[in-house]
Amino acid sequence: MDKLWLIVQREYLTRVKKKSFILITLLSPIIFVALFTIPVLVALFAGKESKSLLVKDDSGIFLPPVDSSARTSFTLSQEPLDVLKSSYKNMGFDGVLYIPALPTNGEKISLSYFSEGQLSLSVVGYVTDKVAEQVEAKKIKDAGYNEEVMKNFKTSISIEQEELAFNEEGQLVETGKKSSAELATAIGFISGFVIYIVLIFYGAMIMRSVMEEKTNRIVEVIISSVKPFQLMMGKILGVSAVGLTQMLIWMVMTFVLSSVATAF
């Protein structure tokens, strides 16, 4: 048992002291959190930029929305599009939005935007939503329907799942336990991904350990003192301890970094 413990200790200390282990352990949570937070932060900060747009509307339906909280403002102009594209900066605007005439066959409407820079995703979403709302309202009116009545047709529906249980006599027992297919699917996916990473990453680590000692002929000296089963079991336990240590550090760092990122 003492020999097995020595092998486990050697495998564990040898690997946790490596620079590669330290770098991977510290950088992985940072990269993981950055993949989720950086796009959100970019979208948020980009969305804070105010835009003032000149609108050339050939459809004749667009009315600038009255929304004091919005950072995007619209100003209709009757000037030709070529004139607006060349003089919008001198007029104090950030760009020109062109709304073409509405197609009669229900085809997709493609807006055009002209400026020196690009619109952020939040501004693009805001502009397309406002134009789509007015196009939809016109189509409802042309069809002879009441817009308010049509809005009442839209209904939001959700499903609440509750698990049931039966006793030994076959009688129904109300458990009150809620269930969620989305949560179960997410847990299954994450668990499967973790198992896959553990098998590939830490299995390869055990294989490299065996190959290194066999290449250096150290294994011949070790086997003369311990049984092959003890050697293999010591390697498995040692690498498993390394994996648990790394996973624990990842969980703690990911939680801390996520909390800090959420605060900002």
Distances (CA, A) of 36 to 39, 206, 261: 6, 32, 10
Domain match, 55 and 142 both: yes
Q: Which of 1, 16, 23 has the alpha carbon at shortest distance from 238?
A: 16
Is the same domain home to 23 and 57?
no
Tokens at residue 189, please?
A: 């996916």
Find the domain containing 120 and state its range. Answer: 51-147
d(CA 109, CA 57): 13
Last residue of a domain, one of 96, 128, 147: 147
- For residues 145 and 137, what is the distance between their CA atoms, to the nearest angstrom? 10
Query: CB-side exposure of 8: number of CA atoms within 13 Å?
Result: 15
Nearest to 93 by CA among 108, 78, 79, 72: 72
| DSSP state, residue 62 | -
Q: How far apart are CA 172 and CA 161, in angstroms?
A: 16
Residue 6 in any domain: the answer is: yes
Please report the DSSP string for 211-255 in residue order: HHHHHTTHHHHHHTTS-HHHHHHHHHHHHHHHHHHHHHHHHHHHH
60 and 29 together in one domain: no
Q: Which of 125, 147, 169 is the last residue of a domain?
A: 147
- Do 29 and 82 lie in one domain? The reply is no
CATH number of the domain encompassing residue 114: 3.40.190.10
The pLDDT value recorded for residue 174 is 66
> Does the structure show a pLDDT above 70 at 213?
no
In a domain, 226, yes or no: yes
Selection from 106, 99, 101, 100 nearest residue 143 by Cα: 106
In angstroms, the CA 228 to CA 208 distance is 17
Band of residue 43 on the pLDDT scale cut at 50, 70, 90: low
Specify whether 190 is located in the same domain as 139: no
Domain final residue pick, 96, 130, 147? 147
Domain identity same for 56 and 143: yes
Residue 133 in domain: yes
Tell me, yes or no, whether 122 and 195 share the same domain: no
> Per mean pLDDT, which range of 22-31, 136-145, 250-259 is the poorest?
136-145
Asked if the structure places residue 170 within a domain, the reply is no
What mean pLDDT comes out for the span 209-237? Answer: 73
Q: Report the length, in residues, of the chain.
A: 264
Number of domains, the chain = 2
Which pTM value belongs to this model? 0.51
Mind listing the pLDDT tens digit for each residue in 74-130? 889 888 888 888 888 888 898 999 998 887 776 788 889 998 878 877 788 888 888
| 75 domain-assigned | yes
The answer to the question of residue 23 being in a domain is yes
The whole-angstrom separation of Cα 189 and Cα 183 is 10
Domain presence at residue 18: yes
- Average of per-residue pLDDT across 32-43: 79
| 175 domain residue, yes or no | no
| Separation CA 132–CA 113 (nearest Å) | 16
Q: Which helix (H) or strand (E) holds 22?
A: helix 19-47
Using the Cα atoms of residue 37, residue 42, residue 48 and residue 54 in order, give the sign of their dihedral: negative
Residues 8 and 88 placed together within one structural domain of the fold: no
Regarding whether 256 and 198 lie in a shared domain, the answer is yes
